[in-house]
Amino acid sequence: MASNNNSNIKVHDHFKVVPPSSTKTTSIPLTFFDIFWLRFHPVERVFFYTLPNSQSHPSFFFQTIVPNLKSSLSLTLQHFLPLAGNIVWPSDSSKPIIQFDPNDDGVSLIIAESDSDFNHVVENSPHEASLSRSFIPHLESSDSFASIMSLQITLFPNSGFSIGISTHHAVLDGKSSTMFVKAWAYLCKKAIERDESPTLLSEFEPSFNREVIKDPNGNNVMDLVSTLFPSEKGNDRSLKIFPFEPQLEDSVRATFKLKHEDLDKIKQRVLSTWEIFDTKESKPQTLSSFVITCAYSLVCVAKAIHGAHNDKEKFSFVFSVDCRARLEPTIPNNYLGNCVWAYFIDTQPLDFIKEDGVFLVAKSIYEKIKMINEKGFLEGEINDMFNKIISLSSEGFEFMGVAGSHRFGVYEIDFGWGRPEKVEIVSIDRGVTIGLAESKDSKGGIEVGLALNKPVMDIFSTLFLEGLSYNE
């Protein structure tokens, strides 16, 4: 079943795609990185592709394109075997595991058709937030198991198609899920080019070696998760994903662009203010695009929320850090699993809505990243993270987050019919989260995706665009 009951979606087929010639059950342990996300909502992303009229005609699409996507998916799963399985919790284990059983498991693949206007769906200007949810499959979970991945391919007749992917955050971080999609696209393109036995590029060949990650915290992450998310009905071994429901009522989704020149302009403003405010230490030579994009976008979001709801004035930002290069020894770039940890920045409650908010937030993000790089990412952070969430929640803070990255290269992903027209992180509608991707058509630029209440989005849009047209 598709994940909603929108009338514009017609489901044509529902397959269970399995890797070819898999005969043995495969099991992999979860690391403490994985377990942190055990009951977190799925990461949901959708890739939209334009097709010429002849290829987007239903008969050609269902008879040629779908079989290519389906067969190359099966071949890709041969390299990513655990992704075709589930998270389970054996009775004799203290922790859940990833398990693929060739007799029962496989990846759910829905083939659907939409009568929505493709051009409306992919436009950047605000449109109904619920629309993109039509193109995302549901990820199954229950007390006893949780699916790892599900997929949906949706045709927009005479226009194009989309590939929606839902992944379990306890098995895949953003870098890992992007690597899987890139591998699938590579093998699909090779099949279209009539390459009978393509070899997967080494950069897409995943490593599932869990031995490289050592738990520094005495194996008690499960206790911390239980504290943060107490199980209903006393079932401490439940694998059911918590219902972080999408905030869809009166919400709109939009994409905003920061060109390289925009980022430079904001960066110079922040560095100029740094000299005035902080004389104790020298200002940094430069600031990363990530720091600038997050600071600028989140301050606009916080001011917009405060503008629409005066009682909301306390904000906090939590972001994930890729730890592959920060561990000793470093983790291979092709490690498939979670290797991200979440951090709060050290701002004051009202910093986001102050006049100099962009400077204050940029400085806090920069200093947090600098601290992680210098001291190591786990310095007392595991317990602190959970305690801080509980503490700030009780004080009425509005949490803001970030998903995706401008370094993933999602606009390079070509299945054989060209680069994406649009890529969206749909799951940002489950909280106040900005979705990042590299700009599709501007070198060095960044796209910022948002799903917000309509009055908030109106204010945000004004603040965001006015800030870019500001002249020194």
| Bridge partners, 344 (sequence order) | 318
Closest CA to 306 of 430, 463, 449: 463
Residue 95: the pLDDT is 87
C-alpha to C-alpha distance for 150 and 182, rounded to whole angstroms: 16
Look up residue 216 and give its two tokens: 């520094």
Length of the chain: 472
Residue 235: the pLDDT is 66
Residue 365: the pLDDT is 97
* Residue ranges of the chain that CATH labels 3.30.559.10: 9-234, 251-469
Residue 195: the pLDDT is 78
Specify whether the CB–CB gap between 53 and 157 falls below 8 A. no
Residue 232: the pLDDT is 58
In terms of DSSP bridges, do strands 422-425 and 446-453 run parallel, antiparallel, or are they unpaired? unpaired
Helix 260-277 × helix 289-308 angle, to 10°: 80
Residue of 101, 143, 215, 414 marked active site: 414
Active site residue 169: yes
**Cα angle 4, 420, 64; round to 5:** 75
Please, which residues have CB within 8 angstroms of residue 63's CB and are 6 or more apart in sequence? none
**Which helix (H) or strand (E) covers residue 187, if one does?**
helix 174-192
Residue 3: the pLDDT is 41
Please, which residues have CB within 8 angstroms of residue 128's CB and are 6 or more apart in sequence? 251, 252, 253
Helix 454-469 × helix 260-277 angle, to 10°: 80
C-alpha to C-alpha distance for 52 and 324, rounded to whole angstroms: 41
Tokens 């389906």 correspond to 70
What one-letter code names the amino acid at 193? E
What one-letter code names the amino acid at 313? E
- Return the SS3 of 130: coil
C-alpha to C-alpha distance for 436 and 168, rounded to whole angstroms: 19
Specify whether the CB–CB gap between 256 and 301 falls below 8 A. no
For domain 251-469, give the CATH superfamily: Chloramphenicol acetyltransferase-like domain (3.30.559.10)
Active site residue 414: yes
- Return the SS3 of 81: helix
Buried b (16+ CB within 10 A) or exposed e, 273-298: bbeeeeeeeebbeebbbbbbbbbbbb
Residue of 41, 138, 168, 169 marked active site: 169
Query: pLDDT under 50 in the chain at which residues?
Result: 1-7, 472
Closest CA to 81 of 27, 30, 141: 27
- Return the SS3 of 236: coil
Domain 9-234 has CATH 3.40.1390.10: no
- Return the SS3 of 62: helix
Tokens 């699993």 correspond to 337
Cα–chain center distance at 448? 13
